[in-house]
Amino acid sequence: MFKMDPAKIVVGSFVAVIMLGTLLLTMPLATVDGRGLSVVNAIFTATSATCVTGLIVVDTGRTFTVFGQLVILALIQVGGLGVMTLSTFFLTMVGRRLSLRGKMVVQDALNYYEMSSLLELVRYILIFTLVLELMGTLLLSVPFYHREGWRGVYLAFFHAISAFCNAGFSLYSTSLVSYRGDAVVNFTVMGLIVLGGLGFPVLLDLYYRYLRFKGRSRRLKFQTRLVLIITSLLVVSGAVIIFFFEAPNLLAHLSWKEKFLASLFQAVTPRTAGFNTLNIGGLREVTLFFLMILMFIGASPGGTGGGIKTTTAAIVFYTIRAIIREEKEVNLLGKTVPSQVVSKAFAIFFLSMALLVTSILLLLIFEQSMPLIKLAFEAVSAFGTVGLSTGITSTLSVPSKVLISVVMLAGRVGPLTLVLAMAHRESPPEIRYPEAQVMVG
C-alpha cells in the first residue's frame, strides 16, 4: 500500500484547505455584491488566509459579508494552528491513539521532535490559543466598542484571532492606522503577534517554568532562550532603526507617543503579521529594505508565522562567524550546534533565497511597469507570510497572483518541506566516494 511521507501530507493538507476555502469564497453568499469572488481572487484570498499571510486583492471589510469574513477567519485559525494539529487533537478527544507514522507527520508540521511530549504539546496548543485569543478579544473590545458600539466586539474577536495567528487580516480598509495612538490596541495586538510568533514549544516551556512549576529550579530550554534573545534583539533594533529612518518622513508630524508606538508596532508586525499603523507605501526605500530583512527572518519554529525563522538566522550567522574564526564547531549560548542542524539551517536559507530570487525575477517579467523595490517587498512579504504591502497587490496580473500564492504556501510550510514533498526520494546508495580537493572563495 502506498504511503505518503510526512512532508507530502503536510503540504497536501494545506492545499486541501485552500481548495475548500476557494470554493466557499466563490459562493454568492460570501460577498456583498452577491456574485462571489473570481476564481483567481478566491484562490489568492484563501491561500493568504490559510497561510496566515494577510495580503489582499479586495477590501476584506467592504467586499465580504459576515459569512465570507467568518470563512476567512476559519481559514486563518486552521492555517495558524495547522491541519495536522487540529486532527491530532480531535482524534485524542474521541479516544483514538495516534500511530507512529501519524506522530511523525505532526512532528513535521510543528517542527517539534520530542516524541514523548508531542501529544501534550498538541493539547496545550489548543489551550494557549483559546485563552490568548479570548484575552485579546476582551482587551480589544474596550477601545473597539467605544468607537464602533456592539460591532466593536465582533471586530475585537476577528482582530484578536488574526493577530495571534500572525495573519494580519483587518476589517478596516487602512488596517489599524486609525488606532495609531491607542496604547491598548497597539500593545494588545503586538502582544498577540509576539506570542503567536514565539512558537508553541517556547510557550509551553515558559508555562512550565513560570506558572506550572513556579518557584522550582527549572531552567529554560536552549531553544526558548535563543528565541527570546533573537526576538528581543529584532524588535528593539527594528523599532530604533524605523524611528531613525522615518523621523523626517512619516513620523515627522506625529506626537512623541504616536512616534514611539508606530515605530515599535512596525518593528513587530514584519515578524509575519501584516497589520500596519503607518502607510507602508509612503515609507522610504531604505525602511522598506530593512523591513524586508525582518520579514525574511520571520517568526520562530513551531509558531504561527513564516520566514526562515529566528533560530535559522542565528545558526547561519554563528556558523559564518565560526568559519571566519576557523573554529571547528558552531558554539551558541554555551552549547554546540549539531552539524545536521547547521546543514538544515543553510539548506533552508539558500532554498529561501533561491525561491525569492526566482519569484522577484518572474514578477519583473510579469509586471514590467512596477518598480523593483515594490515587487521585491511583495515577494518577501508573501514568503514571510507577513501581509505588508506597498499597495500593489490588487493591481497584480493573474500570473503574478498565482506566483504570489505559491510563494505564500512555500513560506507557510517551509521551503525545505515543500521541496521534500515534491521530490521523489529513494534510499541513498551505500557508496563512499574519494574526497576531492576543491578551492573555494
Alpha carbon distance 196, 194 (integer Å): 5
Mean pLDDT score, 120-137 = 86
Look at the block and give the residue holding cell 473597539: 144
Measure the CA–CA gap between 293 and 307, rounded to whole angstroms.
10
Residue 238 near residue 294, CB atoms below 8 Å:
yes
For 434, other C-beta atoms within 10 Å of its C-beta total: 4
Which helix (H) or strand (E) covers residue 39, if one does? Answer: helix 39-50
pLDDT greater than 80 at residue 288: yes
Hey, what's the cell of 5?
511521507
Buried b (16+ CB within 10 A) or exposed e, 223-240: bbbbbbebbeebbeebbe
Give residue 69's pLDDT band: very low, low, confident or very high (50, 70, 90).
very high
CA distance 110 to 106: 6
Q: Which of 197, 206, 190, 162 is nearest to 300 (CA)?
A: 197
> What number is the average pLDDT over the span 145-150?
93
In this predicted model, which residue has the larger pLDDT, 128 or 107?
Answer: 128
Q: For residue 330, give the 3-state DSSP assignment.
A: coil
Whole-angstrom Cα distance, residue 17 to residue 8?
14
Q: Cell 521551503 identifies what position?
A: 415
> Nearest CA to 261 among 342, 355, 188?
188
With 90 as the cut, is the pLDDT of residue 349 above it? Answer: yes
Q: Which of 126-130, 183-187, 263-267, 315-319 has the lowest mean pLDDT?
A: 126-130
Residue 245: band (very low, low, confident or very high) from pLDDT cuts 50, 70, 90: very high
Q: What is the mean pLDDT of residues 117-128?
A: 75
Three-state SS string over 136-197 comes to HHHHHHHHHHHHHCCHHHHHHHHHHHHHHCCCCCCCCCCCCHHHCCCHHHHHHHHHHHHHHH
pLDDT at 115: 47
Q: Is the pLDDT of residue 91 over 50?
A: no
Position 262 pLDDT exceeds 60? yes
Mean pLDDT of the chain: 86
- Taking the C-alpha atoms of residue 42 and residue 285, their distance in angstroms, rounded to an integer, is 31
> Which DSSP letter does residue 332 get?
E
Residue 94 has pLDDT above 50, yes or no: no
Mean pLDDT of 163-179: 92
